[in-house]
Amino acid sequence: MSHRCIKCKGKGLCGRPLCPIVEKISDIESISSVFKDNKSIFGASPPAVFVGRYGYPDVQAGPMIPPEIRGVDAISFDDPRQLCDLDIRNVIASRTRLIRANTCLNVTDAGKSVHKNPLLLKSQEIALSKNPVDTEAWFSRSPSRDMHFDDVLTPMGPSGIIEKLDVVDNPSVPRKVDYLAYDTDASAEDAVSELYSGNIPVHHITHLLSIGLLGKQRRLVPTRWSITAVDDMAGKKLIEKIRDYPQISDFTLFSGELFGNYFEVLLIPRTYSFELIEAWMPRAVWSGDEIWVGSDHETVSGKKGYSTLAGGYYSARLAALEYLFSIHRQASIFIVREIRPQYWAPLGVWVVREGVRRALNRDPEHFSSIEEALKCMSMRLETHESRWRPEAKLLDEIKCQRTLDHFI
């Protein structure tokens, strides 16, 4: 296994038809017994929908349904805040009980005002709801037992093409969601920002964008893309706001861990910038026998292009920006994410978002100098500073640059 595995994360860049890492994870015993050989299922969608990316612009899309699960019990299948309370094996066991009820669509089908696919309409009805929706689906054949794992998406279970879909419940739709779903004059960016500001959970906004319910020109958006798009758009709106806030007063260091992902979050009294370093330790998921370290950053002018660290970059940034917004301060954000062997299966970028959030909910340590803060950080990281420190581009600038403050 090489460093290419870390960069690829199951996307098939090596040319193999199947990823051996994903295949190994797919063999977990508890997954194979989830679905009986039936052609119909009944259960409460959390609510959750999924839009694939293979064959784009022709894609497969539809709701995800856990058979025989009813009512509020279904919420934990899709809400990252509840998944955080499980261990990795139970997250996988829970998520892979979600059956993907797919129909074949073109991404432009979401923009049709007449003759819209009835299965898409019902999928959209499910996605609008804030509470689980009792749903029944009939498949053309029994769903396949193929499982899906990668770096962005949360694990998912079997899938199949549906012939019929019934929404048994009346969805409970938040007023803000209802308004923006029917507002075709609002851009997707503005809709995401307004929903996020209205305390609609990120995973709910992701479903709305993915199933084609937001924006001026409605399109289905593959779930993998919509996850990162929502993190990015919500983050950019927060950056616009915190730029006008005063800087924090000292070097503030937070730390935390989730599923073997260890985070050090350093807030530096300076104008906004962001840097993320990832250190993949030997024997962690996607990792081989050697450590791999990568980094990416942005200045106050914003991110140019797509991050080399993929979706985790935007998830970490959003979580840190949320904290700064909550205290009405700005800072330069420096995060080290150390992926340890305990993270043995990929669960999705929500782990990064929730992991940073959890770290920032803990009591911080305060320092008068960046050297003291980095020394404390290095003592807790298992990766030696000599391995990750050369990757810290903005950190060098922060330590060496003489800002105007020194002359005041």
Give the model confidence (pLDDT) of 303-360 as tens digits: 989 999 999 999 999 999 999 999 999 999 999 999 999 998 889 999 999 999 999 9
Q: Does the pLDDT of residue 28 top 50, yes or no? A: no
CB under 8 Å to 73, separation ≥6 — which residues?
44, 132
Beta bridge partners of 183: none
pLDDT of the residue at 375: 96
pLDDT of the residue at 147: 64
Q: Does the pLDDT of residue 34 top 50, yes or no? A: no
pLDDT tier at 31, thresholds 50, 70, 90: very low
Q: 130-158: per-residue pLDDT in tens?
A: 999 999 999 998 777 666 666 667 777 78
Percent of the chain residues topping a pLDDT of 70: 87
Tell me how far CA of residue 62 lies from CA of 152, 174, 203, 281, 346, in angstroms.
19, 21, 16, 37, 23
Detail the DSSP E strand segments found in 290-357. 292-298, 332-339
pLDDT of the residue at 36: 56
The residue type found at 18 is L
pLDDT of the residue at 35: 52
Q: 374-401: per-residue pLDDT in tens?
A: 999 999 999 999 999 999 998 888 777 7
pLDDT of the residue at 21: 60
Q: Does the pLDDT of residue 29 top 50, yes or no? A: no
Q: 38-92: per-residue pLDDT in tens?
A: 688 999 999 999 999 999 999 999 999 999 899 999 999 999 999 999 998 888 8
Mean pLDDT along residues 264-282: 97
CB under 8 Å to 55, separation ≥6 — which residues?
none
pLDDT tier at 284, thresholds 50, 70, 90: confident
What is the phi/psi pair of residue 365, to 5°? -110, 145
Mean pLDDT along residues 94-108: 93
* Residue tagged 């920002």 (tokens): 193
Q: Does the pLDDT of residue 118 top 50, yes or no? A: yes
